[in-house]
Amino acid sequence: MHSPDKPADAAPHAAPGAARVQQLGDARRGKMAGNIAAFGRALRRAGVRTDAARIALATQAAMLVSVERKLDLGAAIEAVMVSREQDRLVFRELFDAWFQDPDLAHKMLAQMLPSAEGKPQPARRRPRVREALMAPRVPAPDKPGEQEVQFDAAMTASERQRLHHADFNALGASEYRLVERLARDIALPVPTLPARRMRAAAGLPHSRMHWAGVLHEAGRTGGELVRLPRLSRREQPLPLLVLVDVSGSMERYARLLLAFLHAATRRAGRRDVFAFGTHLTDLTPAFRLADTDEMLLRAGAAIDDFAGGTRLGESLAQLRLQHARRLTGRRTLVLLVSDGLDTGEPRQLEDELQWLHRHARRVLWLNPLLRFAGYSPLARGAAMLHRHADAMLAVHNLDALEQLARSLAALMRSARR
């Protein structure tokens, strides 16, 4: 039996998993808790919601399952640190990369430098995982010259406030990535309407009598009517049709708004998404992916007219001829994201906008140019959009995206009245 003071790596007969245990951290030397805490900070940098309580639970879970098997350790930590389904793939990829080598961050930086021809390239990782790994690790407690990290935060309160009101078009590269992650956490409840199907209700006013339920209750109580069940209509979310402009003038907004809409409308019922520039591109299969980073990669591969011109009339004609069934019985809520700088035929745009308005419940124009005080839709395409849209809403910063949900609710309440 080895002495408690003797290091684990000095044992003469080490177990087959001893090397793996040493990489993950030795509990007797205090490395495990530090590695898990640093891993929790890396998860936060990758956009996964975690806090000190979850990191403490992860340390306890690691002590319970031990570190002999990496798969068991990963499953235990994932169970206490991940609460959203869209974060599971990010967690697993970051966990595999983080715990395979103590100096992984430095190796990742070396792999990103230009390499000689024939050198094997590193596996392609999600952008959130790459950014989390590029940050320097916290030095181990037993290394000389350590500097303990007392506080870990993405930004100060004043910085967060500034980014909430900053225009997407004026952000730097690092700020843009940070705002993109913040936009994914903004909720956008899709308005609901009464459906055709009924459900049992607990005596709600203006509800129909549930006669089958009345007879069933009477049979259970020997013919006595103790309770009178009623029926009310189910509530279902409106079908969504999203049209996103990917032309050159919308280049700084398109990717961020696609990420926002993918995360914000995740709980919507039917959701059809198209990108348009010089022609229409169906992004609905990409939006079915759970991970937002994978959706952006798939959408980027599908869009072949990115940063080109805008021909909204031709794109709407393609929608009418090939995808008219996506508009469900005048119940569809259309979100059209564009600045209205159209270069197509005016007459065609007028006709197609009239058709779209006739076959949709509401057409909402989400315009990033509303960031300018006193903006007026004077351009030809913008004037037509303003004429046929039911409302024009701003989407140029995080504060405007947060206001979008409240504006949608107010518009649907006015529509019911």
| Residue-wise DSSP of 1-47 | ---TTS-GGG-SS--TTHHHHHHH--GGGTHHHHHHHHHHHHHHHTT
Residue 10 contacts residue 3 (beta carbons within 8 Å): no
- The reported pLDDT for the residue numbered 414 is 58
Buried b (16+ CB within 10 A) or exposed e, 62-81: beeeebeebeebbebbbebb
User: pTM to 2 decimals?
Assistant: 0.64
Distance of CA 100 to the CA centre of its chain: 28
Residues in the chain predicted with pLDDT less than 70, given as ranges, are 1-30, 101-128, 130-158, 201-206, 412-417
What are 8-61's pLDDT values in tens digits?
Answer: 444 444 444 444 443 444 444 557 788 888 888 888 877 788 888 888 888 888
Q: What is 238-416's CATH topology?
A: Rossmann fold (3.40.50)
Domains of the chain by residue range: 8-115+124-134, 193-236, 238-416
- The reported pLDDT for the residue numbered 176 is 82
3-state secondary structure of 399: helix
- The reported pLDDT for the residue numbered 258 is 93
What region, left, alpha or beta, does residue 118 occupy, with left being phi > 0 and alpha being psi -120 to 50 degrees?
left
| Residue-wise DSSP of 137-184 | PPPPTTSTT--------SS-HHHHHHHHHS-GGG--HHHHHHHHHHHT
What are 322-359's pLDDT values in tens digits?
Answer: 999 998 878 899 999 999 999 989 999 999 999 999 99
Distance of CA 204 to the CA centre of its chain: 36
3-state secondary structure of 93: helix
Residue 245 contacts residue 214 (beta carbons within 8 Å): no
What are 90-108's pLDDT values in tens digits?
Answer: 888 888 888 775 454 445 4
